[in-house]
Amino acid sequence: MSCIFCEIVKGTSPSRKVYEDDLILGIMDIDPYCDGHILLIPKKHYTDMMELDESLLTHMNKVAKELTPKIMNKLGKVSMTVSYNYGEKQKVKHFHLHLLPNIDDNPTKSVEEIYNLLN
């Protein structure tokens, strides 16, 4: 079964990267809930949170904590929701963490415009 996030990690599917290290990749969501919706995905495939190594989850939370004020400042946002889904709510079956600035606001800019503001 193919996994879009694994393809993005391998570089065979396009993405707008906003963060990368040896363990995870941060990309713009292509169908954002709000302006600045970013996904943090492990480079190794884990179907869901039950498979995820605790040290990796700790690392992802640390990166989310570091990125939050940077994203909020660059986009002029006042709040951040950090979440992940499990079960039926998890659309892509590759664990990922959502960064959602001002989650209740509808998107007002294109993903490309937000990407340019963040870089």
From the list 37, 94, 96, 98, the catalytic residue is 96
Is 98 annotated in the active site? no
Q: What's the token pair of residue 21?
A: 């290290």
CA distance 10 to 4: 10
Going 7 to 12 to 16 to 18, the CA torsion angle's sign is positive
| Interacting residues of 2 by C-beta distance below 8 A, sequence separation 6+ | none
Indicate which residues carry an active-site annotation: 96
